[in-house]
Amino acid sequence: MGFILPPSRIVVKEVEMKQFHFIRSVVLVLCLLLVPAGGCAQEAKEFYTPASGQPGKDVVWVPTPQSLVDAMLDMAKVTPSDYVIDLGSGDGRLVIGAAKRGATALGIEYNPDMVELARRAAREEMVTKRATFEKADIFESDFSKATVLTLYLLPGLNLRLRPTILDMKPGTRIVSNSFGMADWQPDETRRVSEDGSSGQLTAHLWIVPAKVDGIWQLADGQISFIQSFQNITGTLTTMGENVELTGKLAGDRISFNAGGREYTGTVSGNTISGTHGGGGSWEAAR
């Protein structure tokens, strides 16, 4: 059933409608005036767009293809307990990749625009708690706390970093896109293609070896290790008898063969303890 307003309410209603149209027009005019000055200008603001090959302080920016990012993080076996540092982090892809695996990750990058770009990418990927970026020179930065170091630099830069890397905690994993460490041979090399299958993109892995070079005392003799990065040679002397040894270090894990017997052990500062193929245990100190 219809609802008829008395004439006085009809007049009030017309006044309310006019007020409503007036307010709406004012709001529309204000929006048209304000939006181009603020909101629209904000939307139109250009984000920094890097170009592959653009100059950088010591090396140009070229991004690591995503398939190789994944391979590098796989090779380093990145887990949530890792602290990953990418030296020259570019648009942040390795740092963000590591953070997505639950690790804490830091990118050190000299170009401030790239740092901002990487921070924005971390926000978009919602990993800002674990992925951070610092505007700094890698050659003036302390990265000694990293458990995993990622690099895409140049052979000469890797070589400049090598002494610092070799002083990092034994077991630290270093992964490099393309470039080597001169005569420090990688512990593993992997080749993938852009789609992740076997191909031409190359990543190398090194595990920082414990330092064992020198003479170690045994209960019934001594061991003399000659160390070249992760490789060891030397002599085992027991009961006045010398046997040659050859072996490897993987972080603080040592393994060698002496006179046909296999020895394994763990290096902890100035002691090594482990077992040998004869079914017994051995201990060395220096």
Summarize as ranges the residues that interact with ligand SAM (CB under 6 A): 56-59, 61-64, 86, 88-90, 93-94, 108-111, 114, 137-139, 152, 177
Residue whose Cβ sits closest to ligand SAM: 88
Cα distance between residue 222 and residue 234, in whole Å: 11
Q: Which is nearer to ligand SAM, 201 or 207 (CB)?
A: 201
**Mapping DSSP to helix (H, G, I), strand (E, B) and coil, where does residue 57 land?**
coil
Task: Quote the least distance from Cβ 48 to ligand SAM, whole Å.
Answer: 12
Whole-number Cα distances in Å, 4 to 1, 12, 198, 254: 10, 14, 81, 97
Task: Quote the least distance from Cβ 87 to ligand SAM, whole Å.
Answer: 7
Task: Quote the least distance from Cβ 79 to ligand SAM, whole Å.
Answer: 20
Output 157-161 pairs: Cβ under 8 A, ≥24 positions apart.
Answer: 157/58, 157/59, 158/182, 161/87
Task: Quote the least distance from Cβ 150 to ligand SAM, whole Å.
Answer: 7
Cα distance between residue 263 and residue 260, in whole Å: 10
Q: What are the tokens at 224?
A: 């003399």
Q: Which is nearer to ligand SAM, 204 or 216 (CB)?
A: 204
Q: How many CA atoms lie within 13 A of 208 on its CB side?
A: 19
Which residue is it, tokens 């603001």?
Answer: 45
Task: Quote the least distance from Cβ 61 to ligand SAM, whole Å.
Answer: 4
Q: Which is nearer to ligand SAM, 153 or 208 (CB)?
A: 153
Q: Which is nearer to ligand SAM, 158 or 177 (CB)?
A: 177
Task: Quote the least distance from Cβ 126 to ligand SAM, whole Å.
Answer: 20
Q: Which is nearer to ligand SAM, 69 or 272 (CB)?
A: 69
Q: Which is nearer to ligand SAM, 110 or 263 (CB)?
A: 110
Q: What are the tokens at 95?
A: 């740092």
Q: Which is nearer to ligand SAM, 144 or 268 (CB)?
A: 144
Among residues 93, 110, 102, which one has the least CA distance to residue 55?
A: 110
Task: Quote the least distance from Cβ 225 to ligand SAM, whole Å.
Answer: 35
Q: 285, 270 in Cβ contact below 8 A? A: yes
Q: Which is nearer to ligand SAM, 86 or 252 (CB)?
A: 86
* H or E segment and range at residue 101: none
Task: Quote the least distance from Cβ 99 to ligand SAM, whole Å.
Answer: 14
Number of H helices, E strands in the chain: 6, 15
Cα distance between residue 267 and residue 198, in whole Å: 36
Which ranges of the chain would DSSP assign to H, the alpha helix? 7-37, 39-44, 66-75, 93-100, 112-124, 155-166
